[in-house]
Structure 1
Amino acid sequence: MADKTETETVTEIMQDTRIAVLTYAEDGRLMSVPMGTQDLDDPGTIHFLTEAHSDKMQAIAANPQVNVTYSGDGGWVSVSGTAARNDDRALLERLWDPSAGAFMEGGPDNPDNVVLTVSAETARYWATPGSVATVVQMAKGLVSDTKPDLGDTGTVSL
């Protein structure tokens, strides 16, 4: 991974993880929900499809600070940023896919279906050499005095 920039590493981990976990504050408590990432070209802008009337959207309107996490064989990313309702109907139509229809009523023409856009500020990441290699490295660390090579970590501004 030495030849990749930190932003490229973060982007790759995010793109390889279909389902993210969105964490937001509701009534003084942190709430987390799984969300399907849509159209991730830039890790600084994350789009989700959701329903405008949901408790999640009401909570985010009151407190837009959110965290989005991605975890897979290639690593882990935690993105901090702000979220906002995005009423761009052309964007909603472009992002709509069959999976959205499984979770949301109607289609992109339903006025309750909107885009939730997260504007990322920072991302903390851990890029691993893969799940099997990580287990091997951890085992080596347990039976020897050497520190295991568990991948690269860092924080990047987006």
Structure 2
Amino acid sequence: MVDNQQSIKTVNDLIKDIKVAMFTTISSDNKIISRPMQTQEVEFDGELWFLTKKDTEKYQEIASNPNVNLAYAGKSYVSISGTAEFIEDMNKKKEYWNPIFDKVLDTSYDDPNVVLIKVDAESAEYWDSGNTLKSVKTLVKKLTNNETNKDEKEINDTVDFN
């Protein structure tokens, strides 16, 4: 069994100082597409947050296939696989907004075209400075309604984020 809190802490420690991730989606014609995106949440707790606009290809790609990957490069290299969803939360958009987005996205946080992307991490692999692959094989978010997927529990070690 993976130590939940230690796994989360390890991933957080590895990515906390890296501002930009390569955010990978799958296009409608099954091409793998990566683009740099700024991570909005400093402390990794199993969820990662990003801002985008609804009139983008990445929005359409996530709507069609929510499976994504995030790659972080710094002193270590981290690859996080997860599921993305769109969140409409004006307070969170305001909290994560900074003046750079005014220019980059050419709009403001209260634009209805701006949306949050929440990625629920499912697994992470990382390579430390010694080039050794280590992995947190499965990070599964505890469902808020307390339902569990029995097949998933039988196959994978579980890391709860609560």
Cα distance in 1 between the residues matched to 2:44 and 2:50: 14
Match of 2:66 among 44, 64, 67: 64
RMSD: 1.8
**Residue of structure 2 equivalent to 1:155:** 136
> Partners of 1:30 and 1:62 in 2: how far apart?
13
5+ residue gaps, structure 2, are 140-162
2:16 aligned with 1:35: no
Cα offset for 1:150? 4.0
SS of residue matched to 1:77: strand
Partner of 1:97: 98
* Deviation, structure 1 residue 84: 1.2
Cα distance in 2 for residues equivalent to 1:155 and 1:19: 21
Q: Give 3-state SS (helix, strand or coil) of 2:43's partner.
A: coil
Gapped runs of 5+ residues in structure 1? Answer: 129-148
What is the count of residue pairs matched by the alignment?
Answer: 134
Task: Name the TM-score, length of structure 1 as normaliser.
Answer: 0.78
In structure 2, do the counterparts of structure 1 residues 61 and 127 end up closer, same or farther at CA, with 3 Å as the change threshold? Answer: same
Per-residue displacement from partner, 1:9-65 (whole Å, max 9, x unpaired)?
A: 211121111110011100210000000000132341110111111111011101000
The match for 1:50 among 21, 36, 52 is 52
Q: Which amino acid aligns with 1:44?
A: G
**2-structure distance, mates of 1:125, 1:92:** 29
Contact 1:6–1:156, Cα closer than 8 Å, also in 2: no
Deviation at 1:7?
2.6
CA–CA separation in structure 2 for the residues paired with 1:87 and 1:57:
13
- Per the normalisation by structure 2, the TM-score is 0.76
Percent identity of paired positions between Structure 1 and Structure 2: 33
C-alpha displacement at 1:126, in angstroms? 1.6
Partners of 2:85 and 2:106 in 1: CA distance? 21
- In structure 1, C-alpha distance between the alignment counterparts of 2:136 and 2:48, rounded to whole Å: 18
Deviation at 1:154, TM superposition (A): 2.3
Corresponding residue number in structure 1 for 2:83? 82
Q: What is the CA deviation profile of residues 102-137 of structure 1, one whole-angstrom value per residue up to 9, with x for unaligned ones?
A: 211221111111111111111111222xxxxxxxxx
Greater radius of gyration (CA): 1
Change (3 A) 1:85 1:20: same
Higher strand share: 1
